[in-house]
Structure 1
């Protein structure tokens, strides 16, 4: 029997209650990164949900948690983020219209189930593509940036 390498995350896990969760602009995230640059006391975390399309770099200090395996990890992530005094969890994928929006909604649902009003789940508007296309100031705040992956050689 052959096992599929991929599965449809939309079919396996429930849709979030809020199909249009709160968002944050790249300008706001850029300001937050500049303000907290070098600080160990950040009150936010950036989560890159890409897996196979992760090439080309990621926004500085993001953690990579592929959307395909995210849903069952929500309780553990919540515990870790709470212990770290995170107040904003910012999710993104390529465009933040699919995985980013879904993960934001899932985590928002989890926050509501915990009665937690001190933490916010936000989707990065326009995702990593919007970040890269916004120009050098944004690209400068990426780890492992690769021009070739973005067709900018």
Structure 2
């Protein structure tokens, strides 16, 4: 299989690992202060995350762009969740690593083409995405 590096799937334009991290950290902090139901992220999160990104790394993003990014982050979260729960995979939380046989990867990628983003590297923010999109899962330690 010829699979591009993870950055080719996740980051374009002004979006990079640090901007994603700031969005997630802001949303998680705000959720812990004022919980909201399910994955219905309040608009105030986009305003606060945008302000944080501008203050910390001098990148200007509109609340609409931040909201769109949160929706975009949901797809890789769901895909990676499917990867780690597929029979034949083993999630190693301490190492932030999914152990998968090559033939299982081939089947996963046929079913979920976006899963190829995780072939060379696991989802770097999976635990934070779980906290944001599925707070009942929370921390994956021991799961």
Give TM-score scaled by structure 1 length: 0.28
Give TM-score scaled by structure 2 length: 0.29
